[in-house]
Amino acid sequence: MAIRISNMNQLQKALFPVMTKMVDELAKRVYETLNYFLQDYYSGYEPSSYQRTKDFLYSAVKVDARPCEDGVKAMVYIDYDAMDNYRGVTGYQVAKWANEGLHGGIVTDHKPHVWDDTMDKTINNGELLKEAIQYLKRHGIPVRT
């Protein structure tokens, strides 16, 4: 069924449901990828000098898409403020080390870069953009690349 659109507000209203679902799907993809690299971080190294709390393993957060000034946004992040079980180090430092290829500040053979690897596998390689274009096409919105 065709929708008559005669101004930008009507266009925004018509596109909002599609855009919200698309942004949610894209955020879900980033969240799943982040969790993959968190799992890899934990499974690739067994510490001998410290005991893991696993707070970092479960630190990924996805916030559902919502309207914002420029359209729709969702967030995926590592909640380092919730990682408060570490002795003598902040959650931020743990996340920073994990993105530098360190385990508890220790250099090891297993060197994932949790956040950077997530960005490389979703945004930097263009995969998220491809998924967005495919999503829009599936929903009847023509896109040229």
What is the helix (H) or strand (E) element at residue 49, kind and residue range? Answer: none
Q: What is the pLDDT of residue 119?
A: 97
Residue 118, token pair as written in the block: 């997530």
Judge if pTM exceeds 0.75: yes
Lowest mean pLDDT among 53-57, 112-116, 125-129: 53-57
* Residues ≥6 apart with Cβ < 8 Å to 50: 104
> Does the structure show a pLDDT above 90 at 45?
no
Q: What is the pLDDT of residue 48?
A: 64
State the Cα–Cα distance between residues 65 and 21, nearest whole angstrom.
8
Under 8 Å between Cβ of 29 and 128:
yes
